[in-house]
Amino acid sequence: DTEVTQTPKHLVMGMTNKKSLKCEQHMGHRAMYWYKQKAKKPPELMFVYSYEKLSINESVPSRFSPECPNSSLLNLHLHALQPEDSALYLCASSQSKGLEQYFGPGTRLTVT
């Protein structure tokens, strides 16, 4: 089973709201990733967690706050977003660094 699940599937939020995206995998993978994908563009890496520790932050604004409570779960907390943050947010996982990444279906976020 190579399934990564993400909730919610769609999210609409105002610029003053606080919301969270959730990602879960039960494959025993120890690396997890957040990507942002704008329409007709490739995914862009935001964060990498390895063994539940943040190892890469690609200069992402502080209004995006990742959290890895355990090895199966990855959250992305959102606060005071801008309309230009509207995008598809993809979570991925890999058994470890250096191996293929498996992606979830994404959360389509609209900021109004």
Partner 1 sequence: GDSVTQMEGPVTLSEEAFLTINCTYTATGYPSLFWYVQYPGEGLQLLLKATKADDKGSNKGFEATYRKETTSFHLEKGSVQVSDSAVYFCALLNNAGNMLTFGGGTRLMVKP
Chain contacts with partner 1 (rule: CB under 8 A):
2, 4, 6, 31, 40-43, 45, 48, 50, 55-56, 90, 92, 96-106
* Angle (nearest 5°) at CA 52 between 50 and 56: 45
Quick one: 46 or 81, whose CB is closer to partner 1? Answer: 46
Nearer to partner 1, 63 or 108 (CB): 108
Cα of first residue to Cα of last residue in the chain, in angstroms, is 37
3-state secondary structure 24-51: EECCCCCEEEEEEECCCCCCEEEEEEEC
**Nearest CB to partner 1, comparing residues 5 and 82:** 5
Rounded Cα distance between 61 and 1, Å, is 34
> Please, what is the minimum distance in Å from the beta carbon of residue 16 to partner 1?
28
- Cis peptide bond N-terminal to 105, omega within 30: no
The nearer residue to partner 1, 17 or 50, going by C-beta atoms, is 50
Least Cβ distance, residue 104 to partner 1 (angstroms): 5
Q: How far is the CB of 41 from partner 1 (least distance, A)?
A: 7
